[in-house]
């Protein structure tokens, strides 16, 4: 606990020094990496300092597929990238095991340096507006580590919930990574996450409680899963959240008739699966209108406090525990309750769809064509697992994050998103001292 208490201390005294270092490193990059100068520089001796490049592909990813062209939707580049993603030699170079991360993090300093984590705020504006993250994971360690690197900033705070059913080696690798960062930690209480059941919500609530108790400075809460990836830089998120003026942003709209059964019938977990009991549930407390929504939200600190402490919300939570997929209505319903900080009135004119909220972009199979382009990857439970061909469309959207990505299926898609976000973050760096 004392470790987290120190997070907010001493930053101002080191801020100028860190800014000078940032400027010098950026100038170095401009001179020796971006500049067309003929000055010879051995890339093998300089890669440690090249912030704009990622080294895990040993240069081959950017050489074989031009991210700039891919992000513009160039057909030839897209075809090359697809072929590269299935290449045995390429996949052998880019895919990492649990053991890789366990061994690589034995020296945290080298790990953070070689993996190009940004270990200081890129602007005073970001430093003064810290964010809190909940990340719920159970597999795909490389997806998790790439996600953490993409969203990491030292002023933010990160709670990682690892499913109790996860492989021991996965848990060990997550613990090894989090140990390297003072502001990243494993949730103090974990649960067995079951698809469409209450424990999925409980995992986020456990992280909410830890984040709320550990730090008093963060402004907004963002919850993620291991197959999410950002579409915005930290600075873009901060500036977007500031425009909300304390309001929350999440999907919340009238529940369709096709989903009413989820809250009318009682369910329980049997042998790791959610099953209907055949019993009819009582109406929700206070005759609350139950709204349809999404599991992922952008919520103010006041909203999180209501989730943890408001007696009305506690009664709603108790009622929701035996419903089907409570994560897809609980947050949305709380968002429309009177006197919840950042909430909206329950009137239908305040309904917000997943496309108009800012939290999460999901491409549903049944909406492809009329609503958005066809998925260039593949589908899991009717959700697009993005391929590199989806990147141009994704980056045109206003959402903070998109779901789903799978580095094992299309490593180039994540590589180019990382490349794009790092360039953008450094282009927006605050050079004033």
Q: Which residues are catalytic?
A: 328
DSSP state of 294: -
**246 phi/psi in degrees, rounded to 5:** 90, -5
Question: Are 363 and 328 contacting, i.e. CB atoms less than 8 angstroms apart?
Answer: no
Q: What is the DSSP string of 111-155?
A: HHHHTT---S-S-HHHHTS-EEEEEEESS-HHHHHHHHHHH--TT
Buried b (16+ CB within 10 A) or exposed e, 349-378: eebbebeebbbbbbbeeeeeeeebeebbbe
Question: Are 216 and 1 contacting, i.e. CB atoms less than 8 angstroms apart?
Answer: no
**Cross-strand bridge partners of residue 132:** 157, 221
User: What is the Cα–Cα distance from 381 to 342, expressed in whole angstroms?
Assistant: 32
**Exposed (0-12), middle (13-18) or buried (19+): which is 73, by Cβ within 10 Å?**
middle
Q: Where are the beta strands (DSSP E) in 310-400?
A: 360-362, 378-380, 383-385
């Amino acid at each position: 606990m004392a470790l987290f208490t120190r997070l907010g201390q001493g930053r101002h005294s080191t801020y100028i020094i860190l800014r000078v270092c940032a400027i010098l490193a950026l100038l170095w990059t401009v001179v020796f990496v971006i500049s067309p100068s003929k000055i010879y520089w051995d890339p093998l001796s300089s890669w440690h300092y090249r912030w704009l490049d990622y080294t895990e592909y040993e240069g081959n990813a950017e050489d074989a597929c031009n991210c700039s062209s891919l992000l513009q939707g160039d057909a030839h580049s897209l075809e090359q990238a697809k072929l590269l993603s299935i290449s045995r030699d390429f996949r052998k170079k880019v895919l990492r095991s649990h053991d890789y991360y366990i061994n690589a993090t034995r020296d945290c300093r080298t790990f953070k340096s070689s993996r190009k984590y940004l270990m200081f705020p890129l602007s005073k504006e970001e430093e003064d507006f810290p964010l809190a993250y909940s990340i719920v994971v159970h597999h795909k360690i490389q997806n998790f580590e790439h996600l953490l690197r993409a969203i990491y900033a030292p002023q933010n705070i990160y709670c990682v919930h690892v499913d109790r059913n996860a492989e021991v080696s996965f848990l060990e690798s997550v613990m090894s990574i989090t140990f390297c960062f003072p502001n990243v930690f494993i949730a103090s209480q974990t649960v067995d996450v079951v698809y469409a059941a209450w424990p999925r919500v409980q995992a986020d609530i456990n992280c909410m409680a830890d984040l709320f108790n550990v730090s008093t400075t963060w402004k907004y809460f963002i919850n993620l899963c291991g197959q999410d990836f950002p579409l915005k830089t930290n600075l873009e998120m901060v500036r977007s959240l500031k425009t909300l003026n304390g309001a929350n942003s999440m999907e919340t709209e009238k529940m369709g008739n096709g989903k009413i059964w989820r809250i009318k019938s009682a369910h329980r977990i049997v042998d790791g699966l959610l099953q209907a009991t055949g019993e009819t549930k009582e109406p929700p407390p206070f005759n609350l209108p139950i709204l349809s929504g999404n599991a992922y939200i952008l919520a103010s600190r006041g909203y999180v406090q209501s989730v943890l402490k408001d007696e009305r919300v506690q009664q709603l939570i108790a009622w929701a525990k035996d419903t089907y997929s409570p994560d897809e209505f609980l947050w949305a319903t709380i968002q429309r309750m009177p006197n919840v900080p950042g909430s909206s009135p329950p009137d239908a004119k305040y309904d917000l769809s997943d496309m108009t909220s800012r939290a999460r972009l999901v491409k549903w199979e049944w909406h492809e064509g009329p609503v958005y382009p066809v998925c260039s990857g593949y589908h899991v439970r009717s959700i697009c697992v993005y391929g590199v061909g989806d990147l141009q469309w994704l980056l045109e959207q206003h959402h903070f994050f998109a779901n789903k990505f799978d580095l094992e299926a299309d490593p180039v898609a994540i590589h180019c998103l990382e490349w794009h976000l790092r360039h953008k973050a450094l282009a927006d760096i605050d050079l004033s001292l």
